[in-house]
Amino acid sequence: MSQQTSSPVPIFLSPPHMSGREQQYVQEAFDTNWLAPLGPNVNAFEQEFCDYVGCKHALALGSGTFAIHLALDTAGVTTDDDVLVSTLTFSASINPIVYQSANPVFIDSEPNSWNLDPQLLEDALKERAAKGKVPKALVLVHLYGQCADIDPIKALCDQYGVILIEDAAESLGSTYKGTHCGTFGQSGIFSFNGNKIITTTGGGMLVSDDEAIIAHARKLSTQAREPNLYEHKHTEIGYNYRLSNVLAGIGRGQLQVIDEYVAARKRNFDFYQDRLGKLPGVSFMPDAGWGTHTRWFSCITIDPAQFGCDRTHVLETLQAEKIESRPIWMPMHMQPIFEQYDFYGGDVSAHLFERSLCLPSGSSLTLDELDRICSIIEKLPVAALA
């Protein structure tokens, strides 16, 4: 086959991006035979993570989902409790609520940040309090690299006695009025899945300023072993949720370059905005202005009437060129698996879902790749008119 007809190089949505610093820590784990779900890399990763986000205690775990589960468990969430949660999120925000046999209660987005609408939260709390059943907790999601409007949300949680848990899986590095997300509630969680801003191939972190919460989560994460190991006497149900010392080594290397990775993702977004912002019917996920938006994902919204085709057509056109994009999350209140649960809101997230797309957003994207993606999208309205 000739050069000209060879198929284009694929561009992925958000591939892992190694810095070269990870291998030193991985090698140390091998050299010292710390090949276990504990060890020096795990301890150091927890400490370095605390230093970065500005929290007192952290627990490294095998996934962000494990971290949410332990946040709920240590908050005392149990059978038939109600747990408020942002509807515009990934299903991992919800599944652990169901593991605890509690009921998720979905809250719609506000258009300004796409995150949970504080006014709807207030409506939900008023109505539920009047009926005599105040929700136990709120899982507040910080979507696609941007914090929710934490001040009014936290004030409502305090007023009604609702435990605040922050799902910051997508927003490591983003701040609200100068403070890192994930550090405002009783506990916060982060993810190091392969497509997140930093990765350990798979992993997560639970953080809290409350030492007792992290101590309890640490115990639960290692089969709820009691201090007297040799008795093997158990008083509560535990899990096997800790992060491997090898993978924690990857996390340590990744954490050293997080500022560069945040800057690269912002640069991607600015590039898209410069080029595609000129097209009719194209808008972008807003920056609400109360903090740093890391642009973990660069999200655009297509108005098909103005643009000439819909977001699915954009997705399919990119796919034909081996460029991966995807619609934003399908809101959880629209999911068949969660249809029996309550929802407060209107059509804000549903409307965003129908029209919005996540473009390739990795920190290793090159300017040539960004140019290639934009050139394809720029031709679409013309092609649709022809």
Phi, psi torsion values for 300, nearest 5 degrees:
-120, 155
Beta-carbon contacts of 191 under 8 Å, excluding residues fewer than 6 positions away, are 63, 64, 65, 67, 92, 169, 170, 203, 204
How far is it, in rounded angstroms, from Cα 16 to Cα 26? 16
How far is it, in rounded angstroms, from Cα 167 to Cα 165? 7
Strand 282-284, strand 298-302: pairing: antiparallel
Nearer to ligand PLP, 204 or 251 (CB): 204
Q: Applying CB under 6 A, does 146 fall inside the site for ligand PLP?
A: no
Nearer to ligand PLP, 128 or 252 (CB): 252
Stretch that binds ligand PLP, among 2-10, 59-67, 112-120, 286-294 (CB under 6 A): 59-67
Nearer to ligand PLP, 70 or 288 (CB): 70
Stretch that binds ligand PLP, among 26-34, 63-71, 157-165, 267-275 (CB under 6 A): 63-71
Nearer to ligand PLP, 59 or 380 (CB): 59
Nearer to ligand PLP, 141 or 153 (CB): 141
How far is it, in rounded angstroms, from Cα 315 to Cα 355? 11
* Residue of 16, 64, 308, 360 that binds ligand PLP (CB under 6 A): 64
How far is it, in rounded angstroms, from Cα 52 to Cα 55? 8
Widest CA span in the chain: 77
Stretch that binds ligand PLP, among 46-54, 76-84, 164-172, 367-375 (CB under 6 A): 164-172
- Of 188, 172, 114, nearest in space to 148 by CA: 114
Q: Applying CB under 6 A, does 166 fall inside the site for ligand PLP?
A: no
How far is it, in rounded angstroms, from Cα 147 to Cα 304? 28
Say if residues 345 and 87 touch (Cβ distance below 8 Å): yes
Q: Applying CB under 6 A, does 63 fall inside the site for ligand PLP?
A: yes
DSSP 325-348: -EEPPPPGGG-GGGTTS-EE--SH
Q: Applying CB under 6 A, does 65 fall inside the site for ligand PLP?
A: yes
Nearer to ligand PLP, 32 or 240 (CB): 240
Is the backbone of residue 320 left (phi > 0), alpha (psi -120 to 50) or beta?
alpha
How far is it, in rounded angstroms, from Cα 314 to Cα 359? 10
Smallest separation, CB 375 to ligand PLP (Å)? 29
Q: Applying CB under 6 A, does 162 fall inside the site for ligand PLP?
A: no
* Residue 342 CB-density burial (10 A; 0-12 exposed, 13-18 middle, 19+ buried): middle
Smallest separation, CB 179 to ligand PLP (Å)? 20
Phi, psi torsion values for 255, nearest 5 degrees:
-65, -25
Instruction: Give the DSSP H/E element, type plus range, for residue 384.
Output: helix 367-385
How far is it, in rounded angstroms, from Cα 47 to Cα 57? 8
Smallest separation, CB 202 to ligand PLP (Å)? 6
Nearer to ligand PLP, 89 or 175 (CB): 89
- Residues 78-107 as x/- pattern, contact with ligand PLP by CB under 6 A: -----------xx-xx--------------
Beta-carbon contacts of 112 under 8 Å, excluding residues fewer than 6 positions away, are 149, 286, 288
Q: Applying CB under 6 A, does 141 fall inside the site for ligand PLP?
A: yes
* Residue of 162, 169, 246, 357 that binds ligand PLP (CB under 6 A): 169
Stretch that binds ligand PLP, among 61-69, 235-243, 330-338, 354-362 (CB under 6 A): 61-69
How many residues lie near ligand PLP (CB under 6 A)?
14
Binding to ligand PLP, residues 240-269 (CB under 6 A): none
Nearer to ligand PLP, 249 or 308 (CB): 249
- Residues 185-224 as x/- pattern, contact with ligand PLP by CB under 6 A: ------x-x----------x--------------------
- Residues 296-335 as x/- pattern, contact with ligand PLP by CB under 6 A: ----------------------------------------
Nearer to ligand PLP, 71 or 121 (CB): 71
Site residues (vs ligand PLP, CB under 6 A): 63-65, 89-90, 92-93, 141, 167, 169-170, 191, 193, 204
